[in-house]
Structure 1
Amino acid sequence: MPEDITVLIVDNGGRAHVLADLYQRHKDVKRVVVAKGNCLILHDSKKEVILEERVDLNDPRTILKVAITYKPDLVDVAQDNAIACGTVNLLQKNRFHVFGPTKKAARLEWDKAWAREFMKGCGVPIPDYTFFSKPQDAADHARKIYQKNRSSLIFVKASGLCAGKGVEKAENIQEVLIAIGKMRMHGNAASTILIEEGLQGEEFSLYALNDGEHMVTFSLAQDYKQLQDGGQGKNTGGMGAVAPLPMTKEFVQKVEEPLVKRQIHGMKMKGVPYTGILYVGGILTENGPFVIEDNARWGDPEAQVILPGIGNYADLVMASLDRRLKEIQPIEDGLSRVCVVGVAKGYPGDISSIIGKRVYGLEDVMKMGNVNVYGAGIKKEGGNFYVAGGRVFHIVGSGARIDEARQAAYEAVRRVSIEGDNLHYRVDIGANLSRWSEIATGYLQSNQKASRASVALQHRRQKARAQG
């Protein structure tokens, strides 16, 4: 890459904000263009930052126009719809250096039914599932499940992209039927419906940066998808996140092979090398780790707790574009981070009555130590901030330990309000993580016992063959 680099980020929300901050850190980056971005990205910027809001993230042609205008040296396509509709392909065709998976590779995210079949073929551990094109067939299948076991836990999923809201949890047949009915609101994204086994365990987020041949992974995170404390309420785009989870490198290495490497190898064997970020949403059960879902980009808000701690992210991206990722490793600062998302009351439903209401207190929070504020559905007019979307802002606290980061985040978020008492946030982000160490240790110990038993069995077989 040359000096005086221009970077184009294709994204909006808090993830776009943290990516813009990271690229500005690089000594060779002169200018960052964000399409669409949000107003908080301009706050306290260190380099020239331009927001290009007149783009449609579902239309790659509008993004190509921005690229032609600014002639970026690097384009980071980080938003799910933009990736799924082929933005990476179009920009590559026009000779831009693009970080992100092609439309075909990103099918791991935008077609859950296909992804499940692919994972099964690669030997990736996944829940039991069946998918249907007719809602009635899905309902009939669910009835059979509950006839066999009335205590079954089921997830009903739209196969396509639904901004994180296409999953419904059900614990009885009545809830399943309601969930299937809700799929109609997602239109074509729910033309295929998955009925999937619900697994019990602890969820985690694993991220891998890939160049098609090699990959690097980052500290594990955990996100909080449901609207209410304790994992209750509707699914959302994300209500908070924490990183790193209290686990050893040995644990991360153990889950990388079955959950990530098998998928990367499988894509390569299909002639579709995976480049860019692959997110694996995992769950650790008493039977080991399983993949719940894949995303073809950074999660939002997980990006806000992982990326600020990476000192050489731009170098990693550039190395991946040059196919030399094996030469570099992430430089992480070792701090813990907790992200609390502030949403408009009514989210993820109708928030039309909250749009335009004033947001108070963010200016003071931005001056606090050990706290970062990332924008999402927010706009600035006349020096004041106003609600412009469901997820309004992300407040990230940092510290040497999770409890310190959590304290910083909640001390900050308590200073913020939305006109008319219309701010909602969860109060349990980052709580009760101590169980993770016990769970991970138990998994590693059982894995070691299984390995020793396998070795002993091989020795007995070899001895028997020698004696025979």
Structure 2
Amino acid sequence: MDVLLIGSGGREHALAWKIAQSPMLNRLYAAPGNPGIAECAEIVPLDVADHEAIVRFCRDKAVGLVVVGPEAPLVAGLADRLEEAGILVFGPSAAAARLEGSKAFTKDLCSRHDIPTARYKRFTDAAAAKTYLDETGYPTVIKADGLAAGKGVTIATNRAEAMAAVDGCFEGDFGGPGAEIVIEEFLEGEEASLFCLCDGNRAIVFGTAQDHKRAFDRDRGPNTGGMGAYSPALVMTERLVERAMKEIVEPTLKGMAEIGAPFRGILYAGLMLTETGPKLIEYNVRFGDPEAQVLMMRLDGDPLEAFLAAARGDVSAIAPTWSRDRALTVVMAAEGYPGAYSKGTEITKLPADDATTRIFHAGTSRDGDRLVATGGRVLNVTARGATVREAAARAYAAVEQVGWDDGFFRTDIGHRAIMVEGA
């Protein structure tokens, strides 16, 4: 089978690397790709926003499956157009992608189906939102309604932070005119990520992970798209996974089917593990980034078989198998990220991949013979080990071998899990 992978980040590099190992694969194409993806796929010059061009390419090349990595093309309806053309696609329709594309939509769905989540209110007016905030306590959570590349969430600990967050959302940081925000109760607990392979009616667990959203050590600084992750999430016991599936994921699939928007693809539930049980923080409608990197490092089975089953609408025969190893990834980001950062700085050296350690390209390109940084998150240094501590040691040893003077990284990825292991 020939496969087209859509995307250009670290998530897509990890997916390409793993798909390339499938015995079902004939040829793997990628658009727009990156230098890392180019090592395991044929890069094709497609504009991923041009759905007709993608359909033409798939027809010309007899592509059997399209795997969509990022959320934006899904929210924009790429899966719908491919299905109309009779092309199998791994990823939800635009209607189903509202689970990520609109936080307000998801909160309302939770309310209708008694899915445990934080209390919330929706606002389309800054003044009304500020009045409401003056009536509540802190900390509180302020979210831009639409897509914001993982950065449209503010945990405000005081009035000044809250007012600035509201102004930022309504003045154009994450929306502008017509914008909407959701103000939520702040939940106490530990966060974890649960991934589910869905066919529209049923869901099977497809791994767990924990990521680190804050930019700096000890969970300080602004929220980012993710500065590192590890898998599995040790706090996600079998009992907690069962509860999350029964109380959160399964009612969500039922609710989406009832409104004529069955969900097919990967459903990524961001959870808060509270004293009363797991509660939904948010949904993503694709693999996490950088969580995909650690999941692919641990997956022993064939991802293409799983993705194809979901695209065809029947995952009942899929039983993912996982390495007993832990996997951990450290994000190397450009100085200034998640704010303004320089582009085009040179990466002069990368350590060689081996059986336990790999470098996934997240924001790189070629400038002649030079490898340069073009994104905020640039490299994902990923390793496996018998323990999280061992995986972290291998990853950080590889980080030290990277020749790039213009980046930064957290030095404490996996610290909570390491403490649990040592207890």
After TM superposition, the score normalised by the length of structure 2 is: 0.95
Match for residue 92 of structure 1 among 83, 87, 91: 83
Instruction: Report the secondary structure of 2:330's partner residue.
Output: strand
CA drift of 1:437 comes to 8.4
Distance 1:176 1:61 in 2: 42
2:243 aligns to what SS in structure 1?
helix
Match of 1:426 in 2: 410
Q: Report the equivalent of 2:94.
A: 103
The alpha-carbon deviation at position 431 of structure 1 amounts to: 0.8
Is the 2:32–2:44 Cα contact (8 Å) retained in structure 1? yes
Q: Which moved more, 1:387-396 or 1:213-222?
A: 213-222
Aligned to 2:13: 17
Q: How does 1:329-344 map to 2 (within 5 A)?
A: 329-344=319-334
Partner of 1:51: 43
Task: Name the structure 2 match of 1:390.
Answer: 376
- Between structure 1 and structure 2, the one with the greater Rg is 1
Match of 2:195 among 184, 191, 207: 207
Equivalence for 1:372: 358
Q: Distance in 1 between matches of 2:256 and 2:208?
A: 23
1:235-289 deviations in Å (ceiling 9; x for gaps): 1111111101224323311222112111111112222211111010001011221
Distance 1:438 1:266 in 2: 42
CA distance in 2, matches of 1:340, 1:253: 29
Name the aligned partner's letter for residue 305 of structure 2. D
- What is the rounded CA distance, in whole Å, between the counterparts of 1:59 and 1:198 in structure 2? 40
| Amino acid of the structure 1 residue aligned with 2:333 | V
1:60-459 equivalences in 2 (<5 Å): 60-146=51-137, 152-183=138-169, 184=171, 185-188=173-176, 191-246=179-234, 247-310=236-299, 311-351=301-341, 354-362=342-350, 365-418=351-404, 421-433=405-417
Shift of 1:438: 12
CA–CA distance in structure 2, aligned partners of residues 223 and 156 of structure 1:
20
Map of 2:31 onto structure 1? 35
2:191 counterpart SS class: strand
CA deviations on 1:59-80 (whole Å, 9 max, x unpaired) are: 4334334323433101112211
**Residues of 2 paired with 1:438 and 1:87: CA distance?**
46
More deviation, 296-305/223-232: 223-232
Aligned-partner Cα distance in 1 for 2:394–2:72? 33
Classify the secondary structure of the residue corresponding to 1:320: helix
The one-letter amino acid of 2:125's match is: K
User: Residue 450 of structure 1 aligns with which residue?
Assistant: none
What is the root-mean-square deviation of aligned Cα atoms in Å?
Answer: 1.9
C-alpha separation in 2, matches of 1:143 and 1:61: 49
Cα separation, partners in 2 of 1:265 and 1:434, compared to 1, 3 Å = farther
Shift of 1:190: 7.3
Alpha-carbon contact 2:91-2:311 (below 8 Å) kept: no
Structure 2 distance, partners of 1:59, 1:286, is 47
Distance change (3 Å), C-alpha of 1:190 and 1:344: farther
Alignment partners' CA distance in 2, 1:10 and 1:401 = 33
Q: Deviations over 1:398-452 (max 9, x none)?
A: 111111101001111112142xx3111111111122566899xxxxxxxxxxxxx
Amino acid at match of 1:36: P
Change in Cα spacing, 1:356 to 1:438, as seen in structure 2 (3 Å) is closer
Corresponding letter in the other structure for 1:361: K
Runs (5+) with no aligned partner, structure 2? none
How far residue 382 of structure 1 moved from its aligned partner, in angstroms, is 3.9
Decide whether aligned partners of structure 1 residues 341 and 284 sit closer, same or farther in structure 2, where only a CA change above 3 A counts: same
Give the 3-state SS of the residue equivalent to 1:174 in structure 2.
helix
Aligned-pair identity in percent equals 33
Farther-moved stretch of structure 1 (114-123 vs 425-434)? 425-434
Amino acid at match of 1:298: F
- 1:368-422 Cα shifts (integer Å, max 9, x gaps): 441111111101234331111111111101111111101001111112142xx31
Q: Give the SS at the match of 1:27.
A: coil
* Map of 2:4 onto structure 1: 8
Partners in 2 of 1:65 and 1:322 — Cα distance?
A: 21
Say how many residue pairs are matched: 419
Equivalent residues of 1:158, 1:189 under 8 A apart: no
Q: 1:250 to 1:175 in 2, by over 3 A?
A: same
Q: Classify the secondary structure of the residue corresponding to 1:395.
A: strand
d(CA) in 1 for partners of 2:142 and 2:49? 25
Amino acid in the other structure paired with 2:319: Q
- Structure 1 CA distance for aligned equivalents of residues 203 and 337 of structure 2: 36
Offset of residue 307 of structure 1: 2.0
Residue type matched to 1:332 in 2?
A: W
User: By percentage of residues, which structure has more helix?
Assistant: 1
Give the secondary structure class of the aligned counterpart of 2:226.
coil
- Per the alignment, in what secondary structure is the counterpart of residue 82 of structure 1? helix
Are the aligned partners of 1:204 and 1:281 in contact in 2 as well (CA < 8 Å)?
yes
* Structure 1 residues 91-135: Cα deviation after superposition (integer angstroms, max 9, x where no partner): 110110111100001111001111100111111101011111011
> CA separation of 1:130/1:436 partners in 2, compared to 1, >3 Å: closer, same or farther?
farther
Shift in Å at residue 26 of structure 1? 1.2
Q: Which amino acid aligns with 2:412?
A: D
